[in-house]
């Protein structure tokens, strides 16, 4: 058994917003990756537009730093449970994990999820208590919470002896003792070198590399990323690709890259334990094994958790279809959705009875909405249905996915939160006092009970509620849940919305559009104050008379409309409604646009 003492492979795992990507920034900066005069952007690892806008990590990414002659390969992972598939597969590339925990918030639902996966793979954990410079930080209590979490998840004695480092990613320091000198990240680097096991294996054996990620380059095509588990790989080498389904085919390594800082650097050879990228390997996918010719030896891949939520993607058939998008046919939509499966492991796409519709399943609302937003920006025009939960039949019983929900709210709003969650079939598990007058409420709740709840929580708590959830288990079906209490206001005819028509409609509910907006029959233009749907004529103009009343039109004052984000639109719509997506607009509509046909259907 050979040991590579000059390499350490680690993944940084944590709940969202606990500072993973900021810590990677500081590690890169202090290890000399950037020139002194180089302009450095914040959260440099969050490289795509959606990540920058939302301030979250969506895709796992690799980088590396050098410290005291040792190369440390770092994998930055997403913090949202919806992107858990990204975390699960990259954990196969590393020997140790930095579990980052906020010194104020403590262990959160996603902390539990990622730690459970790391312990199952027997990885060495290093706990980093981050943001200790916050005024309300409580590092000692947080360490106690983490120990309890380790015990609850069944950690063995060796895993329980985890080292603790206290840090501030933003200020760029780490200490092993809370009262030590706060200077730089050297203590963190030292702990990584000392505690994370080095890669082990047969350096002189035949090549064996598990593909854990896929990238694409316009010039060299598909790029396979993974760690060499055994032997070595050379530029120009003939290899055999062992698919996880059992098929095999030959390929040639035309480009070989290793990671140096943020760049992929061309290399001639890579050996055991290194994280590398190869091109020229054809139709390779995540979970395949790259082996030496004549020595095919596939590796088992980590089981990715199943999706819990699905929605129907279909071709846009509204009267305004094709006016704003570039890719509008069912062929375009099908090709794009099936291409997503190459890199998005926890997603499923299925054909339906209709050639124009596809059933897409994912880990949660955010997982699916990121795909929708990405496609929309790429020029696709399509429509999506309300998300529905995927139930399972276990031992003849109808079982539904349950979520573990954690809500932090000021004490004054506890009553209304518990009442609303009770209506959604939740079950309270724990209630503790957090700092600064906040209470932490923990529930088990059906996943379908959370659809549309986030905006309701914001309204009920006047914007003070903080909500986090993660998949818990499957339990017997809990019964019907009533979520939306109000109906929609629907346009009567096609045309441009007029101020006079909107003024008359706003007395009946809340508007979603401005004057001048193009509308069509069956388009949702607002929310009715009552539970039934209401058809309104917002294109109606004021009748002209031969009497002049100066300033009458100016006196029609409209309340500013409510403009929904993509997630809010998906939460708002009912079963018989759709969200129409185009590169320029997000519109809500009825599935059946004809007002008379809908009226007949209700009778």
432: domain CATH number? 3.30.70.240
Q: For position 354, which CATH number holds?
A: 3.30.70.870
Residue 190's pLDDT band (cuts 50, 70, 90): very high
Contacts 24+ apart (CB under 8 A), 416-420: 416/460, 416/461, 417/441, 417/457, 417/460, 417/461, 417/465, 420/453, 420/456, 420/457, 420/460
Answer yes or no: do 358 and 422 share one domain.
no
Which pLDDT score, from 0 to 100, does residue 50 have?
A: 65
Task: Tell me how far apart the alpha carbons of residues 360 and 384 are, in angstroms, rounded to a whole number.
Answer: 10
Answer yes or no: do 105 and 193 share one domain.
yes
Flag whether 471 is in a domain. Answer: yes
Helices and strands (H and E) in the chain: how many = 14, 37
Which pLDDT score, from 0 to 100, does residue 41 have?
A: 46
Q: What is the mean pLDDT of residues 491-520?
A: 89
Whether the CA torsion 584, 588, 591, 592 is positive or negative: it is negative
Q: Coil, strand, or helix at residue 217? A: strand
Q: Is the pLDDT of residue 37 over 50?
A: no
Please give the DSSP secondary-structure letter assigned to residue 478: -
Answer yes or no: do 540 and 565 share one domain.
yes
Answer yes or no: do 14 and 109 share one domain.
yes
Flag whether 482 is in a domain. Answer: no
Q: Coil, strand, or helix at residue 147? A: helix
Residue 588's pLDDT band (cuts 50, 70, 90): very high
Q: Is the pLDDT of residue 328 over 70?
A: yes
Flag whether 463 is in a domain. Answer: yes
Answer yes or no: do 494 and 559 share one domain.
yes
Structural domains of the chain, count: 5
Task: Tell me how far apart the alpha carbons of residues 98 and 30 are, in angstroms, rounded to a whole number.
Answer: 18
Which pLDDT score, from 0 to 100, does residue 24 have?
A: 83
Number of CB atoms found within 10 A of residue 449's CB: 23
Last residue of a domain, which of 413, 443, 476? 476
Task: Tell me how far apart the alpha carbons of residues 143 and 125 are, in angstroms, rounded to a whole number.
Answer: 13
Whether the CA torsion 514, 520, 526, 528 is positive or negative: it is positive
Which pLDDT score, from 0 to 100, does residue 603 have?
A: 63
Answer yes or no: do 463 and 494 share one domain.
no
Q: In Å, how far are 170, 303, 467 from 559, measured between CA atoms?
A: 42, 52, 30
Flag whether 580 is in a domain. Answer: yes
Answer yes or no: do 187 and 206 share one domain.
no
Flag whether 303 is in a domain. Answer: no
Flag whether 55 is in a domain. Answer: yes
Number of CB atoms found within 10 A of residue 436's CB: 8
Residue 584's pLDDT band (cuts 50, 70, 90): very high
Contacts 24+ apart (CB under 8 A), 66-70: 66/31, 66/32, 67/31, 67/189, 67/192, 67/193, 68/189, 68/193, 69/6, 70/5, 70/6, 70/7, 70/8, 70/193
Backbone angles phi, psi at 28, to 5 degrees: -65, -45
Q: What is the mean pLDDT of residues 106-134?
A: 85
Task: Tell me how far apart the alpha carbons of residues 480 and 446 are, in angstroms, rounded to a whole number.
Answer: 11
**Containing domain of residue 337, as a range?**
309-389
Q: For position 213, which CATH number holds?
A: 2.40.30.10
Last residue of a domain, which of 428, 449, 476? 476
Q: For position 158, which CATH number holds?
A: 3.40.50.300
Q: Give every CB contact of residue 533 below 8 A, 6+ residues apart in sequence.
A: 487, 488, 489, 490, 598
**Model confidence pLDDT, tens digit, residues 194-241:** 999 998 888 888 999 988 888 877 777 788 888 999 999 999 999 999
Number of CB atoms found within 10 A of residue 245's CB: 8
Report whether 211 contacts 287 (CB < 8 A).
Answer: yes
Residue 314's pLDDT band (cuts 50, 70, 90): very high
Answer yes or no: do 157 and 9 share one domain.
yes
Q: For position 570, which CATH number holds?
A: 2.40.50.250
Flag whether 136 is in a domain. Answer: yes
Answer yes or no: do 145 and 227 share one domain.
no
**Model confidence pLDDT, tens digit, residues 43-79:** 455 555 666 566 666 666 788 888 888 888 888 777 6
For the ranges 160-174, 296-310, 348-362, 368-382, the lowest mean pLDDT is seen at 296-310
Last residue of a domain, which of 452, 476, 500? 476
Report whether 266 contacts 234 (CB < 8 A).
Answer: no
Backbone angles phi, psi at 73, to 5 degrees: -85, 125
Answer yes or no: do 65 and 206 share one domain.
no
Report whether 506 contacts 527 (CB < 8 A).
Answer: no
Answer yes or no: do 12 and 82 share one domain.
yes
DSSP H helices in 429-514: 453-460, 499-505
Task: Tell me how far apart the alpha carbons of residues 371 and 334 are, in angstroms, rounded to a whole number.
Answer: 14
Helix/strand/coil (H/E/C) assignment for every residue in 509-577:
EEECCCCCCEECCCEEEEEECCCCCEEECCCCCCCCCCCCCCCCHHHCCCCCCCCCCHHHHHHHCCCCE
Task: Tell me how far apart the alpha carbons of residues 250 and 247 are, in angstroms, rounded to a whole number.
Answer: 11
Which pLDDT score, from 0 to 100, does residue 203 have?
A: 87
Mean pLDDT, the chain, whole residue set: 84
Flag whether 481 is in a domain. Answer: no
Q: What is the mean pLDDT of residues 448-472?
A: 83
Which secondary-structure segment (H or E) carries 376?
helix 365-377
Answer yes or no: do 448 and 531 share one domain.
no
**Model confidence pLDDT, tens digit, residues 532-578:** 888 998 887 776 665 555 455 556 788 889 888 888 898 888 888 99
């Amino acid at each position: 058994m050979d040991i590579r003492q000059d390499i350490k492979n680690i993944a940084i795992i944590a709940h969202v917003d606990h500072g993973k990507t900021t810590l990677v920034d500081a590690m890169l900066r202090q290890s000399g990756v950037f020139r002194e005069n180089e302009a450095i952007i914040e959260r440099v690892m969050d490289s795509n537009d959606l990540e920058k806008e939302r301030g979250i990590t969506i895709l796992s990414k690799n980088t590396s730093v050098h410290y005291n002659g040792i190369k440390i390969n770092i994998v930055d992972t997403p913090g949202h449970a919806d992107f858990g598939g990204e975390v699960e597969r990259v954990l196969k590339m590393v020997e140790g994990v930095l579990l980052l925990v906020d010194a104020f918030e403590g262990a959160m639902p996603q902390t539990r999820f990622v730690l459970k996966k790391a312990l199952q793979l027997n990885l060495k954990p290093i706990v980093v208590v981050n943001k200790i410079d916050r005024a309300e930080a409580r590092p000692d209590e947080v360490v106690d919470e983490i120990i309890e979490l380790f015990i609850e998840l069944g950690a063995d004695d060796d895993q329980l002896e985890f080292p603790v480092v206290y840090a501030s990613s933003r200020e760029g320091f780490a200490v092993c003792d809370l009262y030590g000198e706060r200077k730089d990240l050297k203590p963190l680097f030292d702990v990584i070198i000392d505690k994370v096991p080095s890669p082990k294996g047969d350096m002189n054996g035949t090549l064996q590399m598990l593909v854990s990620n896929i990238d694409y380059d316009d010039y060299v095509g598909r790029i396979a990323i993974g760690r060499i588990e055994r032997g070595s790989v050379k530029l120009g080498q003939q290899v055999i690709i062992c698919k996880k389904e059992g098929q095999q085919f030959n390929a040639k390594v035309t480009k070989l890259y290793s990671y140096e800082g943020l760049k992929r650097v061309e290399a001639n050879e890579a050996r055991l334990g290194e994280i590398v990228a190869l091109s020229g390997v054809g139709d390779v996918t995540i979970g395949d094994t790259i082996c030496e010719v004549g020595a095919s030896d596939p590796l088992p891949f980590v089981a990715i958790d199943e999706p819990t939520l699905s929605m129907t993607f279909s071709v846009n058939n509204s009267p305004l279809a094709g006016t704003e998008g570039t890719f509008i046919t069912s062929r375009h939509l099908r090709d794009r959705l099936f291409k997503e499966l190459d890199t998005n492991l926890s997603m499923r796409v299925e054909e339906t009875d209709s050639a124009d519709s596809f059933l897409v399943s994912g880990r949660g609302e955010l997982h699916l909405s990121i795909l929708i937003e990405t496609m929309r920006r790429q020029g696709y025009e399509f429509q999506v249905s309300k998300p529905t939960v995927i139930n399972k039949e276990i031992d003849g019983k109808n079982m539904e996915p349950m979520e573990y929900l954690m809500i932090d709210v000021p004490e004054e709003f506890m009553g209304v939160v518990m009442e609303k969650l009770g209506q959604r079939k939740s079950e309270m598990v724990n209630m503790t006092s957090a700092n600064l007058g906040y209470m932490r409420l923990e529930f088990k709740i059906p996943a379908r009970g959370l659809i549309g709840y986030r905006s309701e929580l914001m309204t009920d708590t006047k914007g003070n509620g903080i909500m986090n959830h993660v998949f818990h288990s499957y339990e017997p079906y809990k019964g019907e849940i009533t979520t939306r209490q109000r109906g929609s206001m629907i346009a009567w005819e096609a045309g441009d919305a007029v101020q006079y028509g909107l003024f008359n409609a706003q007395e009946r509910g809340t508007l979603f559009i401005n004057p001048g907006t193009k509308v069509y029959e069956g388009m949702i233009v607002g929310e009715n104050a009552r539970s039934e749907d209401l058809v309104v004529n917002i294109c109606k103009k004021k009748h002209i008379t031969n009497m002049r009343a100066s300033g009458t039109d100016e006196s029609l004052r409209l309340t500013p409309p409510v403009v929904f984000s993509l997630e809010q639109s998906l939460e708002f719509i009912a079963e018989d409604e759709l969200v129409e997506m185009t590169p320029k607009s997000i519109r809500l509509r009825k599935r059946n646009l004809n007002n008379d046909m809908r009226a007949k259907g209700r009778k």
